[in-house]
């Protein structure tokens, strides 16, 4: 296999990953980055772990592997370089998200009669299934853990509702199905 072919494949992988990153940033463009203090702390912890622990270890491995001769067939070197790019990309993403973060402490909410950012809500859907969700920031959302983003359709329907209110989930026009 020629070196040019390997280089081209690496460049394509990098371009694909950068395109995905750009897409993710465009999706979030113009949306305020509200986040709970705990969520912001998790982002900062991940950033610090990547920058202070993981990245230096990978750099050391790549440096060691580069000294072993032919880099084109050196798995440690090739994997290390790929992992280094992934770490650097994630660090850049986290840095941007932390810079624009707007911490909102749900414990400081005075009006507890309405659904607000950070609230945990129990609702019943149209099939009489009960669900419990906590409304959090985009970077904290995890449906399996019951945390939904404040920009999600369910959170938008619930925000500012009162206990006992019936809310209607509106699907965006682009997603409506015609019959």
Q: What is the pLDDT of residue 40?
A: 95
Q: What is the pLDDT of residue 39?
A: 94
- Token digits of residue 53: 């622990």
Q: What is the pLDDT of residue 173?
A: 59
20-59 residue pLDDT tens: 555 455 445 667 889 999 999 999 999 999 999 999 999 9
Q: What is the pLDDT of residue 23?
A: 44
Among residues 19, 11, 34, 8, which one has the least CA distance to residue 89?
19
Query: How far apart are alpha carbons 113 and 127 in whole angstroms?
Result: 25
- Which residue spans of the chain are classified as CATH 1.10.287.180? 3-103
Q: What is the pLDDT of residue 98?
A: 94
Question: Would you state the CATH architecture of domain 3-103?
Answer: Orthogonal Bundle (1.10)
- Token digits of residue 76: 């440690």
Q: What is the pLDDT of residue 17?
A: 53
Q: What is the pLDDT of residue 69?
A: 74
Ranges in the chain, pLDDT < 70: 1-30, 170-179
- Token pair 């299934």 in the structure block, residue: 129
Among residues 158, 154, 159, 134, which one has the least CA distance to residue 36?
134
Q: What is the pLDDT of residue 51?
A: 96
- Which residue spans of the chain are classified as CATH 3.10.50.30? 106-175
3-state DSSP assignment of residue 103: strand
Q: Which CATH class is domain 106-175?
A: alpha beta
Q: Spell out a b/e string for 85-121, using b for 16 or more CB atoms within 10 Å of the CB, else e.
A: bebeebbebbeebbeebeebebeeeeeeeebbbbbeb
Q: What is the DSSP string of 33-74?
A: EEE-HHHHHHHHHHHHHIIIIIHHHHHHHHHHHHTTS-STT-
Q: What is the pLDDT of residue 172?
A: 59
Q: What is the pLDDT of residue 2?
A: 47
Q: What is the pLDDT of residue 147?
A: 93
């Amino acid at each position: 296999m020629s070196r040019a072919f390997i280089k081209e494949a690496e460049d394509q992988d990098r371009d694909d990953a950068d395109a995905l990153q750009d897409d993710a940033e465009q999706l979030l463009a113009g949306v305020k980055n509200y986040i709970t203090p705990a969520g912001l702390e998790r982002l900062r912890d991940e950033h610090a772990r990547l920058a202070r622990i993981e990245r230096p270890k990978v750099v050391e491995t790549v440096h060691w592997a580069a000294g072993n001769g032919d880099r084109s067939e050196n798995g440690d070197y090739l994997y290390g370089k790929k992992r280094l790019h992934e770490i650097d990309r994630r660090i850049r993403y986290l840095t941007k998200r932390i810079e624009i973060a707007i911490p909102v402490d749900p414990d400081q909410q005075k009006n507890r009669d309405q659904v607000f950012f950070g609230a945990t809500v129990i609702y019943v859907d149209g099939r009489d299934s009960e669900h419990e969700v906590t409304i959090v920031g985009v970077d904290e959302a995890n449906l399996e853990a019951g945390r939904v983003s404040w920009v999600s359709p369910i959170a938008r329907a619930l925000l500012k509702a009162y206990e006992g209110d019936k809310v209607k989930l509106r699907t965006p026009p682009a997603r409506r199905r015609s019959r």
